[in-house]
Amino acid sequence: MKVSFSCSIIFFLFLIFNVHASNSSIDNFIQCLPTKSSPANPISKAIFTPNNPSFLPILQTYIRDSRFNTSSTPKPLAIITALDVSHVQATILCAKANNVEIRIRSGGHDFEGLSYVAQVPFVILDMFNLRSIDIDMASETAWIQAGATLGELYYKIASMSKTLAFPAGVCLTLGAGGHFSGGGYGVMLRQFGLSIDNIIDAQVVDANGRVLDRQAMGEDLFWAIRGGGGASFCVILSWKINLVRILDTVTVFNVPRTLEQGATDVVLQWQQVATILDKNLFIRVQPQVQFLQGGNKTVQVSFIGSYLGRCQTLVPLINKNFPILGLKTSDCLEMPWVKTHLFWNNLPQTTPIEVLLQRAPTPPHNFQKHKSDYVKTPIPRVGLEAIWKKMMEIETVLMQWNPYGGRMSEIPENATAFPHRSGNLFKMQYITQWQDGSEQSLIKNIQATRDLHDTFTPYVSSNPRETFLNYRDIDIGTNVNGNLSFAMDFFKDNVNRLLQVKAKVDPTNFFKYEQSIPILSSQQ
Give the integer Cα–Cα distance in Å for 496 and 487. 10
Q: 399-422 pLDDT, tens per residue?
A: 999 999 999 999 999 999 999 999
Specify if 341 maps to a domain.
Answer: no
How many other C-beta atoms can be found within 10 angstroms of the C-beta atom of residue 117? 22
User: Residue 490's pLDDT is what?
Assistant: 98
Specify if 472 maps to a domain.
Answer: no
User: Residue 453's pLDDT is what?
Assistant: 96
Nearest CA-CA partner of 396 in 368, 424, 372, 371 = 368
Q: 329-360 pLDDT, tens per residue?
A: 999 999 999 999 999 999 999 999 999 999 98
Minimum mean pLDDT range among 22-26, 106-110, 196-200, 481-485:
22-26
User: Residue 365's pLDDT is what?
Assistant: 67
Instruction: Give yes or no: residues 158 and 195 share one domain.
Output: yes
Whole-number mean pLDDT of the chain? 94
Minimum mean pLDDT range among 25-34, 58-67, 262-271, 357-366:
357-366
Instruction: Give yes or no: residues 442 and 487 share one domain.
Output: no
Average pLDDT over residues 236-240: 98
Instruction: Give the pLDDT band (50/70/90) at residue 362.
Output: confident
Domain stop point among 110, 126, 142: 126
Helix crossing, 85-97 with 2-36: angle to 10°?
A: 150
Burial of 439 (0-12, 13-18, 19+ CB in 10 A): exposed
User: Residue 524's pLDDT is what?
Assistant: 56
E strands in 26-85? 47-48, 78-81
Give the integer Cα–Cα distance in Å for 35 and 26. 15
Question: The CATH number of the domain where 192 resides is what?
Answer: 3.30.465.10
User: Residue 523's pLDDT is what?
Assistant: 63
Instruction: Give yes or no: residues 104 and 219 share one domain.
Output: no
Average pLDDT over residues 491-501: 98
Instruction: Give yes or no: residues 304 and 223 share one domain.
Output: no
Residue 20 has pLDDT above 50, yes or no: no
User: Residue 121's pLDDT is what?
Assistant: 94
Instruction: Give the pLDDT band (50/70/90) at residue 6.
Output: very low
Specify if 357 maps to a domain.
Answer: no
Q: Which domain holds residue 16?
A: 2-126
Question: The CATH number of the domain where 119 resides is what?
Answer: 3.30.43.10
* Number of domain units in the chain: 4
Instruction: Give yes or no: residues 60 and 208 share one domain.
Output: no
Helix crossing, 381-394 with 439-455: angle to 10°?
A: 180
**Are 157 and 165 within 8 A, CB to CB?**
yes
DSSP secondary structure, 4-41, as one string: HHHHHHHHHHHHHHHHHHHHHHHHHHHHHHHHHS-TTS
Residue 1 has pLDDT above 60, yes or no: no
Average pLDDT over residues 239-252: 97
Instruction: Give the pLDDT band (50/70/90) at residue 16.
Output: very low
Helix, strand, or coil (residue 448): helix
Specify if 73 maps to a domain.
Answer: yes
Q: In the beta sheet, which residues pair with residue 123?
A: 78, 102
Instruction: Give yes or no: residues 114 and 239 share one domain.
Output: no
Average pLDDT over residues 101-111: 96
Residue 17 has pLDDT above 80, yes or no: no
Give the integer Cα–Cα distance in Å for 446 and 433. 10
- pTM comes to 0.94
User: Residue 12's pLDDT is what?
Assistant: 41
Residue 251 has pLDDT above 70, yes or no: yes
Q: 288-329 pLDDT, tens per residue?
A: 999 998 889 999 999 999 999 999 999 999 999 999 999 999
The residues annotated with a catalytic role in the active site are 471
Residue 7 has pLDDT above 90, yes or no: no
Cα 34 from chain centroid? 33
The total number of residues shown for the chain amounts to 524
DSSP secondary structure, 224-261, as one string: HHTTS-GGGT-EEEEEEEE-EE--S-EEEEEEEEEGGG
Q: In the beta sheet, which residues pair with residue 326?
A: none
